[in-house]
Amino acid sequence: MQVTTKAIIFSSLKYGDTSLIVKAFTESDGLKSYLLKGVLSSKKGKLKAAYFLPLMQLEIVAVHKNKGTLESIREAKVTVPYKTVHTDIVKNSIVLFLAEMLGNSIQEGEQDEALFNYLEYALCCLDEFESNPNFHTLFLLNLTKYLGFYPDASFQDEPYFDLLEGSFCKKPSLNPLIQGENLECFKKLLGINFDAFPTVRMNKLQRQELLKNVILYFELHLHGFRKPKSLAVLNAVFE
């Protein structure tokens, strides 16, 4: 079946000398994988390799056979021409990290319009706003709303947050916990959006610890989740 849909690129992997295997989250069908034959050698075709950089926002004309095999893309055009995302070294590092996190977190399945709309909005914020070292952590925390395990913000006065239970608690358990100064940083990001960044203050060590806890939160709640290899690069950029 031929479909025309918006799509956000998660990854592209070179296949042979001239082709790419691309994973994209589509508005119409959720996560799909495509084989783009000859795209690296074609100069006059309707598909250009530059369209398939991480987190590019496209409109594609694709053929979805839905048989568990790689699909195909016939046409593609950029819907959101980024101004800074792929040219600002800090933002580009964030993009590579978030693309890997999304690829590790979202499974092939059915359409999820709310999740697609969130990704679309958040990536436009990343492009338009000044670089912020808390962006990716808030992005991931808010992403959990759509993945089904957003923290229960009730009882925030309690001294611990249980990462396995996803809630605040009065007494420590054997589960991984956020507590003390790290808990105060965690609470700063609960319930806010990207335009509230000027109100959030953390030092480098606090940001790194918070991000480490958020990644662990994903690991505890998503079966088969793999820690991102790009985390070390991201941390180096914010040194």
For the chain of 239 residues, list the mean pLDDT of each consecutive stretch of 10. 96 94 96 94 82 97 89 95 94 96 91 96 95 93 97 95 97 95 95 87 93 97 93 84
Q: Quick one: pLDDT at residue 108?
A: 86
Distance CA(72)–CA(65), nearest Å, equals: 9
Q: Is 136 helix (H, G, I), strand (E, B) or coil?
A: helix
Q: Which ranges constitute the DSSP H helices of the chain?
A: 89-105, 113-128, 135-147, 180-189, 204-221, 231-237
Q: What is the CATH number of the domain that holds 12?
A: 2.40.50.140
User: Residue 163 has which token pair?
Assistant: 């990462």
- Whether residue 111 sits in one domain with residue 64: no
* Within-domain flag for 109: yes
120 and 64 together in one domain: no
pLDDT at residue 112, as a whole number:
95
Q: What is the CATH number of the domain that holds 210?
A: 1.20.1440.120
**Domain hosting residue 136, numbered range:** 89-237
pLDDT at 6: 98
Task: Give the Cα separation of 60 and 67 in Å (integer).
Answer: 19
Q: Do 47 and 106 share a domain, yes or no?
A: no
Upper half-sphere CA count for residue 225 (Cβ side, 13 Å): 17
Q: What is this structure's pTM?
A: 0.94
**pLDDT score recorded for residue 199:** 82
